[in-house]
Amino acid sequence: MGDSSGSVSIDVEKLSFGGKEHLVKTRFGEVSVTVFGDKEKPALITYPDVALNYVSCFQGLFSCPEAASLLLHSFCIYHISPPGHETGAGPISSDIPVPSVDDLANQIAIVLDFFRLGSVMCLGVTAGAYILTLFAIKYRERVIGLILVSPLCKAPSWTEWLYNKVISNLIYFYGMCGLIKERLLQRYFSKEVRGIAQIPESDTVQGCRNLLDERQATNVWRFLQSINRRHDITEDLQQLQCRTLVFVGENSPFHVDALHMASKLDRRYSALVEVHACGSLVTEEQPHAMLIPMEYFFMGYGLYRTSQLTGSPCSPLSPYCISPELLSPESMGVKLKPIKTRASQEIGEGKHGVYGHEPSLPIFTILTPIFLTRRAMSSATPIGSCAARLMAAACSPRRVRSRLAPLAAAALPAGLSEGALMLADAVSFARTEVGGGTRDELACFVSSQYQPPLECPSSRFLCDPQPLHPSCR
């Protein structure tokens, strides 16, 4: 276990955007922690990227009604800001040494000790994802799950190191000038939302640009120095004792790094979701793409969303909450095309190829059950109403399937029609013919394309009171 001694914690409470801010003093400066929710609930801690805090890094995600249902109703949120990155922070004294990444990870342990927290769930973005991963490696018994957005695990390459060195020098001599903000926005967002000649930049980018004006250049410089001196933790990833969910935008400058990290994680306890047409900051650019993958992720901890017979609130697994565009052949076919095994060949590859199935498995073999299910879902009958749950039950891991299958079975009418038989064949086909790894990645990818309608009310999470069936364990 890492050493978190040599620091002093002083609680200074302030109100911050509806949460309560605590300033925890350490030998590397004050750490701002903003708390939202009931402290009796399980804890979820967040850590942002360089030059960001929880407002500019996670506001988009937590502003979604479904995310509020998913996260705020299930956890007490502890937003940890890097030293000097909280709103209204002054410059850190030059007498305080620049912390290393290990010091920043130890600061998290100090925060947990201050709030008397045991094991926590972690959510981090890029530099923050690296810090939380390092924390999970050093304090394995204190992390029950990792949600990493565009994460890093390797030491900076010569190109990245030189680029960060130039940016650091510009920040040191010129402060948060226009050039620095443009380079940071390129780090966070894809070019589609940053704007081009005829298309102005999005409101999200404009809001982030305004918030960057509030950052103290000295504090940003210090955090960038720490991240630029990070060490390689690839070999330590196998020591993680928690489940890991990795998100990355396909246009992120850290896309390759995230794929490398995902390939080194234990595939039995990790999943990768690539978000189409998105940069590094998925939490702000496409927060809806994170909702259902996180919902499946939390199912493994006994938290899942149940459908309401009254129709409000309704489950995202209900066809009435699924956008009609997702049921079109173009959506179901074209959007599934990027689903490929990107892991290195030596991982999970045996005589039957990656994931244990034949490498020559044609794409229509995977798409057939999904198209059959889409046809059943197009019906407005009770059979159609349970189609999404049945497909989720077929595509989910066994423990998740054991929770969803009874719900789907209860929705079936006594008389089976052609649609029900078609759906049953599709589910059976998906369970028997599609390899486990491919099946789970299909579920994650379809989930990442989910865009809930604005009028869809939030749902709540309940713990599963029923034991698992022996055949599903």
How does pLDDT run along the chain (473 residues), one tens digit per residue? 444 444 444 444 443 456 899 999 887 778 999 999 999 999 999 999 999 999 999 999 999 888 878 888 889 999 999 999 998 899 999 899 999 999 999 999 999 999 999 999 999 999 999 999 999 999 999 999 999 999 999 999 999 999 999 999 999 999 999 999 999 999 999 998 998 777 888 999 999 999 999 999 999 999 999 999 999 999 999 989 899 999 999 999 999 999 999 999 998 999 999 999 999 999 999 999 999 999 999 988 887 654 433 333 433 433 334 444 444 444 444 333 344 434 333 434 443 333 333 333 333 333 334 443 444 444 444 444 444 444 444 444 444 444 444 444 444 443 443 444 444 444 444 444 444 444 444 444 434 443 333 333 333 233 333 333 333 33
**Whole-angstrom distance, CA of residue 318 vs CA of residue 468:** 23
Q: What pTM was estimated for this model as a whole?
A: 0.67
Phi, psi of 158 (to 5 degrees): -60, -35
Structural tokens at position 56: 């500019």
**First CA to last CA distance, the chain:** 32
Q: Which letter does DSSP use for residue 437 in this model? A: H
The DSSP annotation for 145-180 comes to: EEEEES---SPPPHHHHHHHHHHHHHHHHH-S-HHH
Instruction: State the alpha helices, DSSP H only, in 44-122.
Output: 54-63, 65-67, 101-114
- Quick check: 226 and 101 in contact, CB under 8 A? yes
> In the block, which residue shows the tokens 């276990």?
1
Q: From the CB of residue 182, how many other CB atoms can be counted at a distance below 10 Å?
A: 12
Environment class of 124 (CB within 10 Å of its CB; exposed 0-12, middle 13-18, buried 19+): buried
Structural tokens at position 104: 């920043």
**Whole-angstrom distance, CA of residue 440 vs CA of residue 432:** 13
Q: Which letter does DSSP use for residue 123 in this model? A: E
Q: Alpha-carbon dihedral of residues 332, 338, 339, 343, nearest 10 degrees?
A: -170
